[in-house]
A and B are shown apart, each in its own frame.
Chain A
């Protein structure tokens, strides 16, 4: 499994766009990039998944450059409720797949008023 590196923490303010970048230099050809969100004392929640270029859903956008060695999760107009830990996962699965997931340290995003 490709190792991922994310900032340990980030701060922003309500209404701002937040971009969290994840490095995965050893990503393999069959690997997907998946982001999860976790609130305190809750299970992780799937946010978005992509393989290349750009993916957008109702919650976030995921930008993946051509070399796929990094990815950026973009949260538009964040609110206080977006304060959470965000995990970037890289692995040979689509939507989670058949294997248990390997979580890195994640990025603790703190949104202030």
Chain B
């Protein structure tokens, strides 16, 4: 089956620093990747849609200058949390859409803790 990986799986950083999270589709090409955020005991919330070679589309209330998304290839999208603060601590999950079969597959998630 299709596999989506995320790196790192968990990261702890100091307030004010930037953190980059990678999302890779390992055995398929993904023209579209999605980024979600999940706070403890809450559901997943879609943050943005990342399209290969173009600018990401952000959901209402998500700051595009704070959450920088780059989708430079058909197998890689990155989410950079800039000037992270403790309230950005969350579980970040990506999904990738297989462009052939039009199915979405989720990554294992990245736990971000900002001190």
Assuming the A-B contacts A41-B91, A96-B95, are A102 and B46 also in contact, with contact meaning beta carbons closer than 8 angstroms in the complex? yes
Within 87-115 of B, Cβ neighbours of A (below 8 Å) are at 91, 93-95, 97, 101-109, 111
Within 40-73 of B, Cβ neighbours of A (below 8 Å) are at 43-46, 49, 59
Is B77 part of the contact surface with A, judged by Cβ < 8 Å? no
Within 78-113 of A, Cβ neighbours of B (below 8 Å) are at 87, 93-106
- Is chain B's interface secondary structure helix, strand, loop, or mixed overall? strand
Q: Count residues of B near A (Cβ-Cβ below 8 Å).
A: 26
Is A57 part of the contact surface with B, judged by Cβ < 8 Å? no
Query: Which of A46, A87, A96, A106 contacts B97, CB < 8 Å?
Result: A96
Q: Which residues of B contact A41 (CB under 8 A)?
A: 91, 109, 111
Interfacial residues, chain B to chain A (CB-CB below 8 A): 4, 6, 32, 34, 36, 43-46, 49, 59, 91, 93-95, 97, 101-109, 111
Top 9 nearest A-B pairs (CB, nearest first) are A96-B104, A43-B106, A95-B103, A100-B46, A103-B44, A103-B43, A100-B34, A43-B93, A96-B103
A-B pairs with beta carbons under 8 Å apart, 24 shown: A41-B91, A42-B108, A43-B4, A43-B95, A43-B106, A43-B108, A43-B109, A44-B93, A45-B106, A46-B103, A46-B104, A94-B102, A95-B102, A97-B104, A98-B97, A100-B34, A100-B36, A100-B59, A101-B34, A103-B36, A103-B44, A103-B45, A104-B43, A106-B43
